[in-house]
Homo-oligomer: A and B are copies of this chain.
Amino acid sequence: MPAKASKVTIADIAAEAGVSVPTVSKVMNGRSDVAPTTRQRVEEIIRRHGYQRRTDERYRKSNLLELMFHELESAWALEIIRGVEKVAGENGMAVVLSESQGRLRPGQSWLENVLARRPVGVIAVFSDLGADQLAKLRARDIPVVVVDPVGEPTPEMHSIGATNWQGGLTATRHLIELGHKRIAMIGGPQNVLCSRARVDGYRAALETAGLTVDPELMRHGDFHVEAGHKQMLALLALENRPTAVFAGSDLQAVGVYEAARAAGLRIPDDLSVIGFDDLPVARWVGPPLTTVRQPLQEMAAAGARMAITLAGGGDMEHHRVELATSLVVRSSTAPYTGR
């Protein structure tokens, strides 16, 4: 992070870049009438000096917090929105929602719109902002906090997550303690970090219990209902089917329920199922779903608070915060009865 005591002025930056003061202002304000190479040079100098804009100048920020999703698909998104909305309300701010239409990296028009809106900060959910995009936001003093980063966060990126590895371990150990040995796992997308961590926790639980990891029982979906349904159908078609499934997400667990129902299997008598997230739907399905609670609202709130702190020139002790997951036992898991 740039030093807070930096005393560099816009004039200094203009002199160093060999451009006029208005040009530096234009870059800082995200205007498009600046040549790309000039913009890049000025941004690089601003970044190096860690220029901090004074809050009383006329280019001050709006009172908006920008919340960016790769998709507004499920109740998962609503939990995040509620967490950010709560912190925004406490700070007299409003939340702007944007969606990158399913792409993990938002497009150029998104960035231009954000720069024009001058939000206090950006909370990017399940997203993978490019280095150039991060640099442009940083050059305008707009801090970015990523909730559940998709890729490997760089050391300087601020991010919030849950203890996914520990959660995967806990879910799988719960099934092992119930006596299950044929335990399947349906992970999320293989390129998504939080999913990899859950899968690794699953593997660690099996291995430390002396159980073999059967590649046939390891599947991948996209965290949504249909994927859980499809992968469970494949698992049920195996000669030696699993007696328990760690579904990787609550929505995939809902898909597992559908597949089990269609096959005439009773949950938990014939098949134990455990989810991940603890969305409201986990309480509503029949039978209520045992799951690993991920504190989504708290994660989003922590991300929003981090962005506001950074925008105020504050430092964070840690760049990466992981909130704890916890096991919520309901009625979809039962002891292995031996077949």
Contact = CB atoms under 8 A, between A and B. Distances in A.
A286 B281 CA distance: 12
A3 interface: no
Interface string A61-87: 011100000001011011001100100
Interface in A222-252: 225
B94 A97 contact: yes
A94 to B, nearest CB: 5
Given A63-B113, A261-B286, A285-B285, 19 more contacts: A62-B117, A72-B82, A72-B85, A74-B280, A75-B75, A75-B78, A77-B78, A81-B97, A85-B97, A89-B99, A89-B101, A92-B113, A94-B97, A95-B98, A96-B96, A97-B97, A225-B284, A254-B284, A281-B281
A202 interface: no
Contacts of A225: 284
Interface residues of A, number: 33
A96 B286 contact: no
A257 interface: yes
Contacts of A254: 284
Interface of A: 62-64, 72, 74-75, 77-78, 81-82, 85, 89, 92, 94-99, 101, 109, 113, 117, 225, 254, 257-258, 261, 280-281, 284-286
Contacts of A96: 64, 94-97
14 contacts: A63-B113, A81-B81, A89-B101, A94-B96, A94-B113, A94-B117, A95-B97, A95-B98, A96-B97, A97-B97, A225-B284, A254-B284, A257-B286, A258-B284
A85 B98 CA distance: 8
Contacts of A258: 284
A258 B280 CA distance: 14
A284 B225 CA distance: 9
A299 B95 CA distance: 22
